[in-house]
Amino acid sequence: MTSTSEIILSAEERNRQINLIVGNYSRVFLHSSDTDIRVECIARTLSVLDIKPHIIAVAFQRLAMTQSEMPTLKEVIDVIRSVEKSAGIVGNDAPNPQNAWHEVIRHLSAIYPSEWSHPFIEQVVKKIGERYITEHEWEARELFISEYESLCDDEMNKILLGML
């Protein structure tokens, strides 16, 4: 279970990581008069978006290999989307955690359940146990979402490490 303070701390840590990544990579590019403003704008915007810091790091690595000047926000976002797509994050058939949980509830309450839409859902359900889920729905929901997000993140990290 995640407490509110953990969520706030993780958001603060995430923002710190993003600022560090953008700041470190900005040193690689030639500086122009608007570089500092651009760096701040990019870091602030990326902190608001739901993008994992390691995706941002891979995107800046790619940009550092192809550009000499600090990229614009649009260029950064375009490369991030490209990294996400090649990592299988966008267009991946794995549903978001909330939709995956709704599928679990529909599946377990159906008389004739259909196939799971993604193997990660089935894997987490097997790990937690169908009986536990049906008998302890509220507790199981939090556990399922946590395990599912962890599994998706682990898989994404494996893919990204292969891209470096």
Mean pLDDT of the chain: 80
Co-location of 10 and 81 in the same domain: yes
Separation of CA 109 from chain center: 30
Query: Does the pLDDT at position 97 exceed 50?
Result: yes
Range in 89-98, 123-132, 151-160 with the lowest mean pLDDT: 89-98
pLDDT digits (tens, 9 = 90+) for 25-42: 888 777 767 777 778 888
Helices 35-48 and 4-26, packing angle to 10 deg: 150
Q: Give domain status of residue 92, yes or no.
A: no
- pTM of the full structure: 0.49
9 occurs within a structural domain: yes
DSSP lists the bridge partners of residue 30 as 69
pLDDT in tens, 108-117: 998 888 889 8
Tell which residue, 103, 112, 50, 39, has the closest CA to residue 76. Answer: 39
Quote the domain boundaries for residue 147: 97-163
Last residue of a domain, one of 86, 105, 126: 86
Q: Do 133 and 154 share a domain, yes or no?
A: yes
